[in-house]
Structure 1
Amino acid sequence: MRRVVVPLVLGIAGFAILVSLGFWQLRRLEWKEAMVAEIARGIDADPVPLPAGVDPSMKYLPVTMTGTTTGDEILVLSGTRESGGGYNVVSGFVTDDGRRIMVDRGFVSQDARRAPRPPVRLRVNGNLHWPDEKGSSTPAPNLAEGVWFARDVPAMAAQLKTDPVLVVASAVGGDPQGVAPIPISVAGIPNSHLSYAVQWFLLAVVWAGMTAGLIWRITRRPV
């Protein structure tokens, strides 16, 4: 009997730890779902005029504004399920009160990449955004072609000579110039806590099986 005490204690302790990690991930899942629901409500709220002071704490805030595009733009490599590969058009935008910001106007196909998009007056409803898309492996923008591989708000603002403020359009009044808005949604917010919980619970089952197998082998050995 004494031969199985240590592996049994270790087996029970390991099983308990793995199961507790699984339940911790389930609690994280509940927290994440509540957070995503709150973000969704914020995204879909009634838009407000663009605040005088804007900072990243206002991410997803719905805003409305009128102004004119500058004619300067950045094309960010993108794609949609319906249209395949293409680009998001990020335009310089001067509001009616003289502020220079950026508007992600939405998607154009590969064929429309070089279509003329001169300055145009627009009414834009959308959401403030600071995308977290640029990683260590993201290529540098191809400035000669005006093609970027991630939306990097400070870098794009420096290129377009605007304030580091990006509004992602959800609806555009005026001539869209062939650009289809892609509203912000919560679909892109990662939530893998359920899969993590399942992994911990499966590891707990495997640990329990291995412990049982070890104890069985120990008890089969001659004393």
Structure 2
Amino acid sequence: MSRYIAPLLIGVLGTAILVGLGVWQVHRLQWKEALLAEIAARMELDPVALPEHPDPASDRFRPVALHGRVGSELALVFIPQAGGGGVRMRLIRPLELENGRRVLLEIGNAAPEVLDQLETLPRFSGTGILYWPQEVDLFTPGHDAGTNVWYARDLPAMAEELGTEPLLVIASARDLGNPLILSSEPDPSRIANNHLQYAVTWFGLAIVWAGMTVLWLARIRRRRYLER
């Protein structure tokens, strides 16, 4: 009987861990679906005036109405394209509102080869989406001092560089006004949601682990039978 204890414990513990990971991914799937639905609902709201103290949690993806003067300073942020399709550049400029506040305005994105063909509109009057990107980590290259090229939207650093609040508004697609610029508006339908796939994988591994444990125990039983 003692021969069965270790394999049984390993089998039960391993299966329990894998099933737990699968259940966790199911909960993550439910959370992600609710989040995407909330994002889509927020983006459908009527634009409001820019809040005095926007909250990254409750105001993320909220449409706002903006009117102000576009500064000449420019930050270009790399957007690597999947499948080796080259790069595009996010175009971010300071926007000075009528009340004197200065925020970061992401006008859109464009291919590097057409940047010298883009004219800077002196004023912006339209709508945008409040957004707090989370793109900076330990592996993000730092900003090259003396250039306007960035490798991620680092709001605190960009705000200091351009003299604005650490607040980003992404211009609405209908307010771009230039066919060479594509909209950078977030699209909830394109936000990755692979939790169902992960859950199926973990549950599948749990079944395999349990099956291998049964085979292991069967081999031990057969070996004991042959030793008699």
| Fold in common (TM above 0.5) | yes
Which residue of the partner structure matches residue 208 of structure 2?
A: 206
Tell me if the contact between 2:66 and 2:127 (Cα under 8 Å) persists in the aligned partners: yes
Which moved further from structure 2: 153-162 or 165-174? 165-174
Structure 2 CA distance for partners of 1:122 and 1:79, relative to 1, 3 Å: farther
- Distance across 2 between alignment mates of 1:4 and 1:80: 53
How far off is 1:84 after superposition? 4.7
Tell me if the contact between 1:88 and 1:104 (Cα under 8 Å) persists in the aligned partners: yes
Tell me if the contact between 1:63 and 1:125 (Cα under 8 Å) persists in the aligned partners: yes
How far off is 1:49 after superposition? 1.2
Which residue of the partner structure matches residue 159 of structure 1?
A: 161
**Unaligned residue ranges in structure 2 (runs of 5+):** none
User: Does structure 1 residue 123 correspond to structure 2 residue 141?
Assistant: no
SS in 2 for 1:114: helix
- 1:144-199 per-residue CA deviation (whole Å, 9 max, x = no partner) reads 33111100111111111111111011235485494332212224644332232122
SS in 2 for 1:180: coil
How far off is 1:217 after superposition? 1.3
SS in 1 for 2:72: strand
- Name the TM-score, length of structure 1 as normaliser: 0.86
- Distance across 2 between alignment mates of 1:172 and 1:98: 25
Which residue of the partner structure matches residue 54 of structure 1?
A: 54
Tell me if the contact between 1:59 and 1:128 (Cα under 8 Å) persists in the aligned partners: yes
Structure 2 CA distance for partners of 1:13 and 1:75, relative to 1, 3 Å: closer
Which moved further from structure 2: 171-180 or 65-74? 171-180
- Distance across 2 between alignment mates of 1:176 and 1:66: 18
Which residue of the partner structure matches residue 180 of structure 1?
A: 182
SS in 2 for 1:72: coil
The structure with the largest strand share of the pair is 1
Tell me if the contact between 2:140 and 2:152 (Cα under 8 Å) persists in the aligned partners: yes
Measured on the aligned residues, the alpha-carbon RMSD in Å equals 2.5
How far off is 1:23 after superposition? 2.5
- Name the TM-score, length of structure 2 as normaliser: 0.84
Which moved further from structure 2: 40-49 or 16-25? 16-25
- 1:19-52 per-residue CA deviation (whole Å, 9 max, x = no partner) reads 2432332122112211211112112222111112
- Distance across 1 between alignment mates of 2:62 and 2:10: 51
Equivalent residues in 2 for 1:136-147, closer than 5 Å = 136-147=138-149
Which residue of the partner structure matches residue 218 of structure 1?
A: 220
Tell me if the contact between 1:70 and 1:119 (Cα under 8 Å) persists in the aligned partners: no
Tell me if the contact between 1:141 and 1:149 (Cα under 8 Å) persists in the aligned partners: yes
Query: Sequence identity of aligned pairs in percent?
Result: 39
- Distance across 1 between alignment mates of 2:80 and 2:21: 37
The AA in structure 1 aligned to 2:143 is P
Structure 2 CA distance for partners of 1:11 and 1:180, relative to 1, 3 Å: closer
User: Does structure 1 residue 67 correspond to structure 2 residue 71?
Assistant: no
User: Does structure 1 residue 76 correspond to structure 2 residue 68?
Assistant: no
- 1:59-105 per-residue CA deviation (whole Å, 9 max, x = no partner) reads 21111111110111101112567x85221100111112221111000
The AA in structure 2 aligned to 1:49 is A
The AA in structure 1 aligned to 2:38 is E
- Number of aligned residues: 222
**Unaligned residue ranges in structure 1 (runs of 5+):** none
- Distance across 1 between alignment mates of 2:185 and 2:123: 20
SS in 1 for 2:125: strand
Specify which of 88, 91, 96 is matched with residue 90 of structure 2. Answer: 88
